[in-house]
Copies of this chain bind each other. A is one copy, B any other.
Amino acid sequence: MRFFSDNAAAVHPRVLAAMADANTLDTAYDGDRWSKALDGRLSDLFGTAVEALWVPTGTAANALALAALCPPYGGTICHRDAHVQNDEGGAPEFYTHGAKLLLADGDGAKLTPATIRDTADAIADDVHRVQPHALTITNATEYGLVYTPDEVAAIGALARDRGWGFHMDGARFANAVARLGCSPAEVTCQAGVDILSFGFVKNGAMSAEALVFFKPGLADATRRRRKRAGLLLSKGRYLAAQVLAMVDDDLWIDNGRVANARAETIASAAGDRLVHPVEANEVFLRATPAEGAALRAQGFDFYDWAAGEVRLVTAWDTDADDIARLADAIRRL
């Protein structure tokens, strides 16, 4: 019973079926009809004209987005616990050619206008200091918290005031939107986000995320960078088909809802053990090493996040019976 990461979940049957349907001879790269349909389908979803590019990983999506928003000699403000800072092997620095990540604080890996200003305003405006050019937030955050549309909009207003680009890492965007009950546009383009890394791989796809550009003019250079990074798969139709299958008939949001509900069940059982409120599909639990061992002895696999703290992640395919067993086991600790 695996609660290690949604990264390792299986691929949804409708995604697999869509890939099989794409198994015909067609144009290479992104000239096929699936790839060409992305702009339209995601424009429909967001209710505004967007450009959308498939990429095979979330790390690539994030790094391409930062490269589109921040010059090599600039910096991007992020939370000090952000995935871009800690878990991408230096991909942002690679793609931006060495731009700095400028670290800010906030509970549950959430930035606020105040903490962003603390970081930015401590940087003297001279050539010796790397200046902020962009900021990035993760929604849902690395600790499973959710930014509301109002919270995003407040940050977006700050970004606009300062002339910064604004990126959202949406590796768990479906979980966030499922929680918020808002439209995907309300928490992105309507709140000032310029580029969204729209995650599907943790949520039922195999190997496709979408970079969604709300701000015109950014996608063209990114198409060049995508090729230059060796990310332009020659059989792109199999990636585009995944994205389309996830968007079709709301599969993405339905899957997000299932994962959230699974996490909620665990949260209910966890009570005071919760380190953070559970707003998406991640549960951070206080547990002694002995308690962790006890859970593992019962067949539950998960991540030791920090001393006395474990992380349990649910996904679209997390078995309801497994969840019931896990909740039970936690209650009995």
Determine whether the beta carbon of A86 is less than 8 Å from that of B129.
yes
Given that A8-B27, A11-B23 are contacting pairs, would A128 and B230 also be in contact in the complex, using a CB cutoff of 8 Å? no
Q: Tell me whether A275 is interfacial, beta carbon within 8 Å.
A: no
Q: Tell me whether A329 is interfacial, beta carbon within 8 Å.
A: no
Copies of this protein in the assembly total: 4
Q: B residues within 8 A CB of A206? A: 19, 235, 238
Given that A24-B10, A89-B130 are contacting pairs, would A57 and B232 also be in contact in the complex, using a CB cutoff of 8 Å? yes
Q: For the complex, count residues of A whose C-beta is within 8 A of B.
A: 73
Determine whether the beta carbon of A127 is less than 8 Å from that of B233.
no
Interface-located stretch among A97-105, A147-155, A179-187: A97-105
Q: Tell me whether A108 is interfacial, beta carbon within 8 Å.
A: no
Determine whether the beta carbon of A93 is less than 8 Å from that of B93.
yes
Residues of A within 8 A of B (CB): 2, 4-5, 7-11, 16, 19-20, 23-29, 55-64, 71-75, 86-91, 93-100, 127-131, 201-202, 206-207, 221, 223-235, 238-239, 317
Closest 10 interchain pairs by CB? A60-B230, A93-B98, A89-B227, A7-B28, A59-B230, A7-B234, A98-B98, A8-B28, A127-B227, A73-B224
10 contacting pairs across A/B (C-beta < 8 A): A5-B234, A10-B25, A19-B206, A57-B233, A59-B232, A61-B230, A71-B224, A72-B72, A72-B97, A89-B228
